[in-house]
A and B are shown apart, each in its own frame.
Chain A
Amino acid sequence: MPGLGTSYGRGGATTFLMDLQRTDCMVVMGSNFAENHPVGFRFVMKAQQQGAKLIHIDPRFTRTSALADLYAPIRAGSDIVFLGALINYVIQNERYFKDYVVNYTNAATLINPAYGSHNVDDDGFFTGFQPDAKPTPRYDTQSWQYQTEQGGVQQGNQPAQGTPETTTSSFSARVGQLLGGAPRTDPTLQDPNCVFQILKRHYSRYTPELVEEVCGTPRETFLEIARTLADNSGPERTAAFAYAVAWTQHTTGVQMIRTASILQLLLGNIGRPGGGILALRGHATIQGSTDVPTLYNILPGYLPIPTVQKNHETLGDYFAAETPPTGFFSNMPKYMVSLLKSWYGPAATRENDYAFDYLPRINGDHSHLPMFVDMYEGRIKGFMAMGQNPAVGGQNAGMQREALARLDWLVVKDLFLTETATFWKNAPEVQSGKLKTADIKTEVFFFPAAAVPEIDGSYTNTFRLVQWHDKAADPPEDARSDMHFTYHLGDRLKKLYANSTDPKDRALRDMTWDYLGDPEGHEFTIPDEPSAEKVMEEINGWKVGPDGKAALRPDGKIDLVNGFGDLRDDGSTACGVWIYSGIFTVREGQYVNAARNRKADEYASLGWGYAWPANRRALYNRASAKPDGTPWSERKKLVWWDAGAQRWTGYDVPDFIANKPPTARADWAKGGMDAHAGTDPFIMKADGKGWLFAPSGTVDGPLPAHYEPYESPMQNRVYKQHVNPITKIYTPKNAAGELANPYATDANPLKAAVVDTQKFPYVVTTYRLTEHHLSGAMSRWLPWLAELQPEMFIEMSPQLAKELNIANTEMVIVESPRGRIECKALVTPRLQPLRMGATIQHQVGMPIHWGYEGEVTGASANDLAALVADPNVSIHEGKAFVVNIRKKS
């Protein structure tokens, strides 16, 4: 999540669910909190019962809107205009929290004067735009950099060579690297090159009138929200934001999150109780699967992955390129060496760069969408789908199913025979005759999966809280845990290569792989099940003994480290995921898996589970105190400086150097954490400040700017440039050379064809319902859930239904440039046409849950979605595209 990471340092929710009960104003935008996170929503309702205002801004009136004090309709994809106008309102009306902004953000920092040489307002491009860059346009970020006290300009992060960008997810990219002297500031915020003045100029055109015209939100509704938000921010009051994938799934998704991040900094709502930004995660442990990543472009704990796009030749080169000289991440080499020791054990030595060369170097974007493009074009031979159902959940899902048909082999491991497992006989393409089963050469292997109650393990929830769960029963028959499958696959591969002398096989041979559980005293009957707690021990980390393996304590148990503070870059420690270190430790001789802790209280519940990092619940919580260390107000106390004990203390674990006094001066030359003063709460960031302006970390601009969704019926009314000029556009071609998307004619957004919105005049957004989970693989097979939402539908307003002569529950045909589906119309006044100036714009909505297998079946909304993506994170634009609708005659 570079949106949050670039702004604050870490790509995780800044706050915790229980803290929402302390908010005075909850803004839910880009999320349907009540429907998709009903258990967490209880804390919002608690706040409401204590007088807090709940605001919901959404294209549809949902079950969240039903509970809201204020609901505002918005056109899908126009969020930056709405949020930008809030920023403008806060600045113009001087409603920002000045002491917070001056001390805790980079508002006072001066930017390269070259930035001002070109006004983004002219055309929609920031300075440094390189329209002719190969293969697609990009930004040179030098003009976005900080000025230094010495009168120069800093050097930014080492840029990756070539596009597309693939390295923005690591801490190195997020925290920034400020090379070349301390940043120059103007605490009066008057210098025209200071961030505050740049911000003020940039958002001055984002007015309530523009909101009405572009978002379709009535001006008065917007102003009421702006007033409510401002009234509930400041020393005595706080406001919180919650978002989910309705912000991320846009070609400007990262910048939408950035806009809210800037707004929350201006209002002084980050690091404070009842404040923050909660990134609501849509799967039980999706936070965990980025922390301990299933992603292709980061190593565990957001360490940067080695890439050929930078000088990562040796470990020393890699450290030189990726270690920020200032801020907490200057400790990075300790975490990297400990990771290599964890993976390769005795084989990782100082002499061989701790086996750094065993790691593959990535060479480009291999995220989900380009992977399926490669598959569609025949460059991928085999694929494993575990806990994933791309035949329904993938964008342009018809293309993804055809891609599966070009594989040699496919492994599906799931609870049921999902659509991905049976595409070769039941896909719509097979039904229509476009694909013939006899011609599909893909060999499909199905492995039945164990369900959660049948395995030991942990979840990392939406606010970084790791909670352990114990196995309650054996899985039926051949069903096995994913860990069982992965462990034994690794074990067999190791045996297969055990005698190889080929140097390229050394990584596999030297890989540590000791996870089998103790078969003795086991109440369950699968003897070769790996131990989840052994994995957790490695995640936590241990001291390395003389034999290069885990050091043992006198009692024969592993000598675990107590936290990431114990980790070293000399090979004396091993740690699988540095940010989780401290989760599994020895306290008073007892092994404690803190994720098992179940001691709750009325608020922070520090004794319940374990939140990374170091069990801190609200990140950046030093900002809950004034620069002098005392709370901003009694009502909003969280963490403060205890002058007597000379330590930070409070209701939460301080997210700060525990004994660093508020009076500590910054010493830039010394680097590391010494470069931060005792007043710098954003400890991960190179300068310790919250970033209103981002000199690095986002590839599509230092400040968010509104561009239209890639498919939009409306011309961009904010800038001349219509769409994000460095949008990722994928252009898959089938064997006959035909485009899967006829409008995706070029990967360059400045050259690609524009969709014909006469043919596809309606804005559609896609979403989940409470009753189902994602592609339905965990819900459509269950009759109790299936009966609650049994059929695929498209929600539309009574006005649109009347125009199209469609009655409630009638079958309709929905078409996009990628395909057509049939489903029932659900006509409801919860959707309303938007009035945008003189124009009326219809919006419709489709849930994403149905496919051709299961207890209930139906068309897949994702068949219609486009393969375009945010340039920072390659997340598709599933939340705003265009369709046509007609009655099925």
Chain B
Amino acid sequence: MAKGFFTDSTLCIGCKACEVACKQWNRLPADGYALSGNSYDNTGWLSGTTWRHVQFVEQFDAGQARWLMNSDVCKHCVQAACLEVCPTGAIIRTEFDTVYIQPDVCNGCRDCIAACPFGVIETNPDGIAQKCTLCYDRLQNGLEPACAKSCPTESIQFGEVDELVARAQARVQTLRASANPAYKSAYLYGVPGDGYTEEIGGLNAFHLLLDTPDKYGLPERPKLGSRATVPSQLGGVLTGALLALGAAISFRNRGARHDRDGGAATTTTTTTREV
């Protein structure tokens, strides 16, 4: 059964616990320290070292006062362009129907980065393509992904995709029926029949949103990449042999480290973002 995320943006309070939990569990480095000036968003976008990213959209015009928040993540597309284009077979579909980049197989060619319609993937400081693994190692041990575990308001829900879709659809009905006019526009992005993501067969990590997709940096009609040289089924065949190695590598300490006594805190792999 497919596992995925239902991210309900109406329940997001922008606390970024998901970003921190993700970086902590996956030992990802901080990306640099610069005030973006873009609301409370200082991590900017999903990347090879930021796998959960909370968006902040300030809408204060025409008598409206609204601050939208949404925790973005890899969509784990039903038909994943990244997986289709990967020439080395590094990107696989796991037994959880998630899309996983095996770090030891990736050669850093960046084809997947170009193919992803959501701009989710980037290379990490080691030069290999990385993105959300849906906490593959945690799933293998019966644990839910770190972001969902840490979310205090159940904005991020993890589970069987079919169940999540049913729950999300009920939630949309409730919101639309509520007295709050702000919720009349609630809809799902990434479920079958949503009018947006048919071409890629929907998303295993989908969102409940209030404004049009572009306001959240999401494409109106995400498309499959043009290079579909490796059928996804083939990728799956390669999976088994490489799983153990991939999981082991994901535990490598790429994360932040500090010197407890000195105050001379350092980060091993800090990159400064261009803003």
Interface residues of A (CB under 8 A from B): 34-35, 38-39, 41-42, 45, 49, 51, 61, 63-67, 69, 71, 415-417, 422, 448, 476-479, 769-771, 781-791, 793, 808-809, 824, 826-830, 853-856
Contacts and interface: CB of A to CB of B under 8 A. Distances in A.
A66 B30 contact: no
A770 B37 contact: no
B43 A788 contact: yes
Contacts of A855: 33, 258, 265, 267
21 contacts: A34-B13, A34-B15, A42-B152, A42-B154, A61-B60, A63-B14, A66-B68, A416-B263, A417-B262, A478-B261, A783-B267, A784-B23, A784-B30, A787-B31, A788-B20, A790-B33, A790-B42, A791-B35, A826-B37, A853-B263, A854-B265
Nearest to A476: B260
Interface string B168-200: 000000100010100000000000000000000
A39 B152 contact: yes
Given A477-B261, A787-B30, A829-B60, A38 B267 contact: no
What 3 A-B pairs have minimum CB-CB distances, sorted nearest first? A829-B60, A783-B30, A790-B33
Given A38-B15, A42-B152, A856 B69 contact: no
Q: Which of A785, A787, A830, A855: most chain B CB closer than 10 A? A: A787
Contact of A784 (B11, B42, B256): B256
Contacts of B67: 61, 63, 65-66, 830
A782 B69 contact: no
A783 B19 CA distance: 12
Nearest to B49: A787
B35 A786 contact: no
A340 B24 CA distance: 47
Q: Which of A422, A448, A782: most chain B CB closer than 10 A? A: A782
Nearest to B67: A66
B17 interface: yes
A71 B31 contact: no
B11 A45 contact: yes
Interface SS of A by simple majority: loop
Contacts of A769: 40
B14 A66 contact: yes
B35 A41 contact: no
Given A38-B153, A785-B20, A787-B43, A854 B261 contact: no
B66 interface: yes
A25 to B, nearest CB: 13
B65 interface: yes
Nearest to A786: B33
Nearest to B13: A34
B39 A828 contact: yes
A770 B14 contact: yes
Interface in B241-275: 256, 258, 260-263, 265, 267, 270
Contacts of B15: 34-35, 38, 63, 770
Contacts, number: 131
Nearest to B178: A51
Contacts of B17: 38
Contacts of A478: 261
B16 A788 contact: yes
Interface SS of B by simple majority: loop
B34 interface: yes
A69 B260 contact: no
B263 A854 contact: yes
Q: Which of B29, B40, B65: most chain A CB closer than 10 A? A: B40
A856 B19 CA distance: 18
Contacts of A782: 256, 258
Nearest to B257: A783
Contacts of A477: 260-261
B211 interface: no
Nearest to A857: B33
Q: Which of B15, B20, B35: most chain A CB closer than 10 A? A: B35
Interface in B66-103: 66-69
A809 B31 CA distance: 19
A824 B42 CA distance: 14
A787 B261 contact: no
Contacts of A448: 260-261
B29 A791 contact: no
Nearest to B59: A829
A824 B35 contact: yes
B152 A41 contact: yes
B32 interface: yes
A334 to B, nearest CB: 42
Contacts of B261: 417, 448, 477-478
B58 interface: yes
A786 B256 CA distance: 11
A70 B15 CA distance: 21
A66 B69 contact: yes
Interface string B24-66: 1000011111111101101100000000000000101100011
Contacts of A771: 16
Contact of A422 (B37, B60, B263): B263
A34 B12 CA distance: 10
Contacts of B43: 787-788
A41 B65 contact: no
A414 B32 CA distance: 25
B69 A38 contact: no
Contacts of A34: 13-15
B102 to A, nearest CB: 25
A42 B33 contact: no
Contacts of B60: 61, 829-830
Contacts of B152: 38-39, 41-42
B270 A809 contact: no
A39 B152 CA distance: 5
Given A415-B260, A790-B34, 18 more contacts: A41-B152, A42-B154, A63-B14, A66-B14, A67-B13, A448-B261, A782-B258, A783-B29, A783-B256, A784-B30, A787-B31, A787-B33, A790-B42, A809-B35, A809-B36, A824-B35, A853-B263, A855-B265
A788 B33 CA distance: 8
Contacts of A854: 263, 265
Contacts of A784: 19-20, 23-24, 30, 256
Contacts of A830: 58, 60, 67
Nearest to A422: B263
B65 A61 contact: yes
Contacts of B178: 51
B65 A826 contact: no
B180 A793 contact: no
Given A42-B152, A829-B58, A783 B260 contact: no
B186 to A, nearest CB: 13
A67 B67 CA distance: 9
Contacts of A827: 37
B22 to A, nearest CB: 9
A177 B14 CA distance: 48
A311 B152 CA distance: 51
Nearest to B175: A49
A826 B35 contact: yes
A34 B15 CA distance: 8
A433 to B, nearest CB: 23
Nearest to B258: A781
Nearest to A832: B60
Contacts of A809: 35-37
A422 B17 CA distance: 31
Contacts of B69: 63, 66
Contact of B33 (A35, A49, A479, A791): A791
A787 B32 CA distance: 6
A45 B61 CA distance: 26
Contact of B58 (A51, A788, A828): A828
Contact of A789 (B42, B66, B256): B42
A42 B153 contact: yes
A478 B24 CA distance: 25
A783 to B, nearest CB: 4
Contacts of A39: 152
Nearest to B270: A783
